[in-house]
Amino acid sequence: MVLLINENATRDAILQSLDWLKENVKPDDIVLFSYQGHGYELNGQVDIVPWEGLEGFISVNELDEKFDQINAKGMCLIFDCCLSGNFVGKRSPKKLGKVSLMEFSKKAMNGVEGEGRVVLMSTMRGGLDIALEITSNDKVIFSAFPFTWFLSKALEKGYDINKDEIVSAEEAFLFAKIRMLPLGIFMLNPIWQLKAIFITGHPILPFPQIYDGYKGWLPIVLK
C-alpha cells in the first residue's frame, strides 16, 4: 500500500505510486485507488491538483494512461474532488448495473473509465465538491471529505446488500450516495450556488455518481 498525504502527495510521487502498482499488481488482484483533493478544469481538460498546485496538475488522460498499464482483475477508482463527475466520458455508462463495454467505442470514452473498472465520483458532471474543515487560530485542525468518509464507513460496517459476505465497491457507493443526499440538498441554497458560480463558474453539486465497468460486484472487503 502507498499512502500520500499533504506535502508527500506531489505530482511525481502520485505518478510513481501508479508505476509501483504496475510493477507489483498481479492479474488476479483488485486495485483500490483513492484521491481526495482539488479538481480543476483547464482548457476543457479536467485534472487533479497535487501538493505543488496547478503547475503540477495531472490530467485525467495521464491518469488513464497509467491505469491502462496496470494489469489487474478489477480496479476501484475513487475521486473525491470538484468536477469528479467529469472524470468519465459523457457517453460512458455511469449507472449502477452491469454493462457491456463492447457497445461503446473508445472514441466515446475520454476519461478513466474502462473494462474491469468501477469509478466512484463525489459530484455530478460539472459540479463542485464539498469538504468539512475546522480551524483554530488560522490553522486547520481537522478536515474531512464526506463522500470518502461515508465510503469508509460502509467498508467498516460491512454494508452487504446481497449477503455474500463481501462489501463491494457498488455497495459502498450506495451507502455513501444515500447519506450524501441531505448534504447535497442542503448545499442547493441559492445564495451559496450563485456565489460558487460567480467565483468558479460551476455550481455546487455533491451528488455522487458511479461508472461500472466490472462484471459482477467488485469486491473490496471480506466480512
Whether 111 is in a domain gets the answer yes
The pLDDT assigned to 105 comes to 39
Q: How many domains is the chain partitioned into structurally? A: 1
Q: In this structure, what CATH number is given to the domain that contains residue 35? A: 3.40.50
Q: Which residues, 6 or more positions from 191, have their beta carbon under 8 angstroms from its beta carbon?
A: none
Whether 129 is in a domain gets the answer yes
Whether 1 is in a domain gets the answer no
Whether 61 is in a domain gets the answer yes
The pLDDT assigned to 58 comes to 94
The rounded distance, in Å, linking the Cα atoms of 177 and 217 is: 17
Q: How many CA atoms lie within 13 A of 102 on its CB side?
A: 2
Whether 113 is in a domain gets the answer yes
The pLDDT assigned to 187 comes to 95
Residue 145's domain comprises 6-222
SS3 49: strand
- Reading the chain (223 residues) residue by residue, the pLDDT tens digits are 899 998 999 999 999 999 999 999 999 999 999 999 999 998 888 999 999 988 889 999 999 999 999 999 999 999 999 999 999 987 554 444 444 444 433 434 479 999 999 999 999 999 999 998 766 676 655 568 999 999 999 999 999 999 999 999 999 999 999 999 999 999 999 999 999 999 999 999 999 999 999 999 999 998 7
Q: What is the gyration radius of the CA atoms in the chain, in angstroms?
A: 17
